[in-house]
Amino acid sequence: MAKNGKKSKKKIIIFSIFGVVLVVLALVVFLGSKKEPIITVQVEKVKKQNITQVVTATGKIQPEVQVKISPEVSGEIVLLPVKEGQKVKKGDLLMKIKPDVYEAQRDQFSAGLLSAKASLTKAEPEFKRIESLYKKGLVSESEFDVSKAAYESAKASYAQATASLNQSEENLRKTTVLSPMDGTVSQLNSELGERVLGTNQFQGTDVMTIADLTRMEARVDVSETDVILVSVGDTARISVDAFPDKKVNALVYEIANTATSKGLGTQEEVTNFEVKMRIITAGLTLRPGMSMTGDVETETKLNVLAVPIQSVTTRAPKMEAKEGEEDGQSGQFVSNNGGGKQRGENKPREATRAAPAMIGGSDGTASRLAAGDTREICWKS
């Protein structure tokens, strides 16, 4: 019985060792059979072409000239003859503020002026009489001074009453608001009967906006790194979201000198400069506030070496740069002996490698190759 037990244990050990060997062999075969996946790339010859560098930015369509209309005096709107979208001429009536209070003030100051005029009419001859007697030595100097002071006070009261009357008449005139320009009522914010604030003492209520819709512009925010490339007079191609199949020509006519910052004090802080472009293409019905994207053409290079933009990359700085690479440099992927897989070929050709390159601008589809490898270039499909 003891011998049979020892034989059983030996068999178990032998089978266990044999099983482990089989598992190890299977694992070695499996790992040895794994192959790196073949990456399909597109290949193209470096060629010469015209490159127009563009700066792309988004923004809104706005009228070149638009005026916010606010009354100069406060009160209730008793007349509002215009509607949103209505065309107006310079001098047309836009609204009228209830004039009752201002008419009462005018009447009050008018009466005050009459009273001041009567006082002056009385004080003037009295002063002249006392002055004549004073020169003859018939009245004292104190009497002369009192008469002179009364006369000067009457003159000042008359001047003050005149100014008050003029101001009240001006306020009454301001209850009627006329259009300052030819244009269209692009926005109407108030209604008939609404009480509005005047701009004489307050910020004022923006009742409406008058805009010249025949002269439109595109306003875009350009980053501080790109704005140095843009100049007044540069041409631009604009895509309006409302008209995706049409392009609009424009001309840069104003670049802001002061930056506008968004997300101030945060990691997402962005510094931009507003660029205005005058739209010179007619025929489209553009409305204020439409979204758009503008491509500003900043520089054109004729017949220069160019590579597809997909083949260009920028390597981040590394602790140890590989052979043929520098820290943080731009480069392109080139093929060894025209590497990659061409159409009609089933057999992969030699691998690609990264090559240093100096990029001199891009038009969005191709980049100008200022310096670098001029053989075949490639990029991942």
Cβ atoms of 200 and 97 within 8 Å: the answer is no
Q: Give the containing element (helix H, strand E) for 97.
A: strand 93-97
Average pLDDT over residues 193-219: 92
pLDDT at residue number 224: 93
**Of 156-170, 304-318, 324-338, 345-359, the least confident:** 324-338
In order of their start, the domains of the chain are 41-51+303-380 (no CATH), 56-64+215-301 (2.40.30.170), 69-97+175-214 (2.40.50.100), 99-174 (1.10.287.470)
pLDDT at residue number 262: 82
Cβ atoms of 76 and 152 within 8 Å: the answer is no
Mean pLDDT of the chain: 81
**Of 50-54, 61-65, 166-170, 194-198, the least confident:** 50-54
Separation in Å, CA 303 to CA 255, 296, 299, 366, 369: 30, 20, 13, 13, 11
Strand order in the sheet with 195-196: 176-178, 93-97, 75-79, 195-196
Separation in Å, CA 271 to CA 158, 255, 265: 58, 14, 12
Return the top range by mean pLDDT from 288-302, 314-328, 359-373. Answer: 288-302
Residue the block writes with tokens 């439409």: 290
Residues 74-114 have pLDDT tens digits of 999 999 999 999 999 999 999 999 999 999 999 999 999 99
Cβ atoms of 369 and 51 within 8 Å: the answer is no
pLDDT at residue number 78: 97
Average pLDDT over residues 207-211: 96
User: Does pLDDT of 182 surpass 80?
Assistant: yes
User: Does pLDDT of 282 surpass 90?
Assistant: no
Average pLDDT over residues 371-378: 48
Query: Exposed, middle or buried by CB within 10 Å (0-12, 13-18, 19+), for 134?
Result: middle
User: How many C-beta neighbours within 10 Å does residue 191 have?
Assistant: 9
Query: Exposed, middle or buried by CB within 10 Å (0-12, 13-18, 19+), for 264?
Result: exposed
Residues 296-336 have pLDDT tens digits of 998 877 766 766 766 666 665 554 444 444 444 454 444 44
Return the top range by mean pLDDT from 250-259, 299-308, 336-345. Answer: 250-259
Cβ atoms of 164 and 106 within 8 Å: the answer is no
